[in-house]
Structure 1
Amino acid sequence: MRDLPPLHTLPAFEAAARLGSFLAAAEALHLTPSAISHRIRLLEEHVGQALFERRHRAIVLTATGRRYLAVVREALLRLDEASGVLRAPQRERLRISAAPAIASKWLVSRVTAYQETHPDLEFALATATGLAPLLAGEADIGLRYGEEEWPGLLAWKLFEERVFPVCSPTLAAGLHQPQDLERSRLLRHPLLSWQRWFAAAGISHPEPSTGPLYEDALLMLEAAVAGHGVALMAASLAMPYVAEGRLVRPFAEDCADRSFYVVAPPAIQERPAVMAFVRWLVRNAHDLV
């Protein structure tokens, strides 16, 4: 960059070429006409060629001036754009890792509603069931289903869950009392206890050891819709399917289970915009279930 021209001469050159007058350029840049004239001469001395033809009450670009103007104008535009990006408020990015079912059936609509009033917060959503993304620093907050203890993480309870069986309308037609489930194909999830529900329904029956085991509650819900068996499911995830008529509750009995939590590494407390979103989720969770 040893051959750069005096940089303060370039806006004067561009303005004079664009406006066709040293006087007009001076007014646009809030300078005197003599200052514009001086800067143009300095630039011409630097490049070693005339950039303008001076005519009576007019200036006209030379062939060299026209070629140089294209380069100068492009450089000034790029500098202006880059400066505008730096001046603009930076959007903060929030990476959320959520269990697939709560992400699709509960979280997505809430994120959309929040972003309408907080456009400077950019959301990136991914699905996972374990804690690895949070512990590895790949996610800022997570939504998980579990007990009160979350080693190494902060936790805020969203809402407690009630669980109950759901199945397709076709399967429900053959279920008349909870005892009928002893002969049914039961879909299982590692965090949901059939034995606990059986006890609430007044049945002494052990935890089933057969039947498909689903790590993803959303897949289990879709399997139930397809008639593959009866699923024990958390109310917040099952009710949208029930409301649509895709699944039915064959029995009224339900029971308390675990809770959904927002979990995050302790460092999240240093990010006010993220903490504001967490507090909003917790504050409104009971109204949004």
Structure 2
Amino acid sequence: MRDLPPLHALPAFEAAARLGSFLAAAEALHLTPSAISHRIRLLETHLGQPLFERRHRTVRLTAAGRRYLAVVRDSLFRLDEASALLRAPRRERLRLSVAPAIGSQWLVGHIATYQEQHPDLEFVIGSATSLGPLLAGEADIGVRYGEEEWPGLLAWKLFEEHIFPVCRPALAEQLKTPADLDRQRLLRHPLLSWSRWFAAAGLKRDEPAHGPLYEDARLMLEGAVAGHGVALMAASLAAPYLAAGRLARPFAADCPDRSFYIVAPPAIQERPAAMAFIRWLVQGARTEF
């Protein structure tokens, strides 16, 4: 620890920044306004620059204060999480990082079922599409869509996917052959290849160079429902929309694509409860798909 700030001043700083006044921060922390002011002055002296612009009854963060607040909030949150774990050592916490679409349409129901059987396991669920949370140690287990190789991580295949176009039912009736898509707006996703589907449908087409690019497959499905265009979609994600009649398949052709995987750092093998959950998910996916 090279040069830590006065640690007791950090909650005062965060509260004042969040609430916009020293008086409100004092009430929230059960301190006097002068104590809040004194702690923040200590912090500013340590840092060598002001963190707030003082006004009559309010305060406003300086540019340096805004940058510092992001770090302080993250640090206080991590301390709170670590303290909660120590206060309740019997409850194991499992942090999941899930691709949004598969998380909302498939995983959350399975987590609810597993939670009923294992009430002492606490789930923290976040959404992401990159591997960043796993590689940075911010998540224990991820569910991602991709190929077989996951550098630096262990992987368990859940199920393989097939992809095909979907669109509003009225538009689907107008599309007679895959070549008709040349006159349509095609919705794009970084992990779903139109050129691969075109080849399976007997057409020679490159990836579309234009058209809305969605990073979230669930948003792309809603875009297709809204008439934004024709979406290329994985079968498991499109299924609820097709069953409800919100979307339709204009063509029967589909093609195999990537797969959904559970991915995790190698250290997960040292956590029996986490490994039991992974095995349960994999077995459930094999039964369903």
Give how far 1:87 is off.
11
Q: How does 1:177-256 map to 2 (within 5 A)?
A: 177-256=177-256
Q: Does 1:281 align with 2:245?
A: no
Cα gap change, 1:98 to 1:287, in 2 (>3 Å) = same
RMSD between aligned residues? 1.5
How far apart in 2 are the matches of 1:123 and 1:89? 14
How far apart in 2 are the matches of 1:164 and 1:253? 7
In structure 1, give the amino acid aligned to 2:193.
S
Please state whether the residue corresponding to 2:208 is helix, strand or coil: coil
| C-alpha contact 1:220 1:231 (8 A) present in aligned 2 | yes
Give how far 1:286 is off.
2.6
1:77 aligned partner: none
Cα gap change, 1:231 to 1:87, in 2 (>3 Å) = closer
Please state whether the residue corresponding to 1:130 is helix, strand or coil: coil
Give how far 1:111 is off.
0.4
In structure 1, give the amino acid aligned to 2:119.
P
Instruction: State the structure with more CA Rg.
Output: 1
Unmatched tracts of structure 1, length 5 or more: 1-85
In structure 1, give the amino acid aligned to 2:98.
A
Runs of 4+ in 1 over 2 A off after TM superposition: 86-89, 286-289
How far apart in 2 are the matches of 1:124 and 1:259? 24
How far apart in 1 are the matches of 2:243 and 2:87? 48
| C-alpha contact 1:160 1:258 (8 A) present in aligned 2 | yes
Q: Deviations over 1:136-164 (max 9, x none)?
A: 11100000000011111100000000000
Please state whether the residue corresponding to 1:218 is helix, strand or coil: helix
Structure 1-normalised TM-score? Answer: 0.69
How far apart in 2 are the matches of 1:166 and 1:91? 43
Query: Percent sequence identity over matched residues?
Result: 74
2:114 aligned partner: 114
How far apart in 2 are the matches of 1:285 and 1:195? 28
Give how far 1:172 is off.
1.1
Please state whether the residue corresponding to 2:174 is helix, strand or coil: coil
In structure 1, give the amino acid aligned to 2:126.
A
Give how far 1:205 is off.
1.1
Please state whether the residue corresponding to 2:107 is helix, strand or coil: helix
Q: How does 1:1-289 map to 2 (within 5 A)?
A: 90-289=90-289
How far apart in 2 are the matches of 1:136 and 1:268? 14
How far apart in 2 are the matches of 1:128 and 1:138? 11
How far apart in 2 are the matches of 1:222 and 1:281? 27
Q: How many residues align?
A: 204
1:48 aligned partner: none
How far apart in 2 are the matches of 1:185 and 1:158? 32
Q: Deviations over 1:158-198 (max 9, x none)?
A: 00000000011122121111111111100000111000101
| C-alpha contact 1:170 1:227 (8 A) present in aligned 2 | no
How far apart in 2 are the matches of 1:266 and 1:114? 23
How far apart in 2 are the matches of 1:221 and 1:87? 43
Give how far 1:288 is off.
2.9
Please state whether the residue corresponding to 1:250 is helix, strand or coil: coil
Give how far 1:88 is off.
8.2
In structure 1, give the amino acid aligned to 2:180.
D
How far apart in 1 are the matches of 2:126 and 2:88? 28
| C-alpha contact 1:214 1:220 (8 A) present in aligned 2 | yes
How far apart in 2 are the matches of 1:96 and 1:184? 38
Please state whether the residue corresponding to 1:173 is helix, strand or coil: helix
| C-alpha contact 1:168 1:246 (8 A) present in aligned 2 | yes
Unmatched tracts of structure 2, length 5 or more: 1-85
Cα gap change, 1:152 to 1:249, in 2 (>3 Å) = same
Give how far 1:287 is off.
2.3
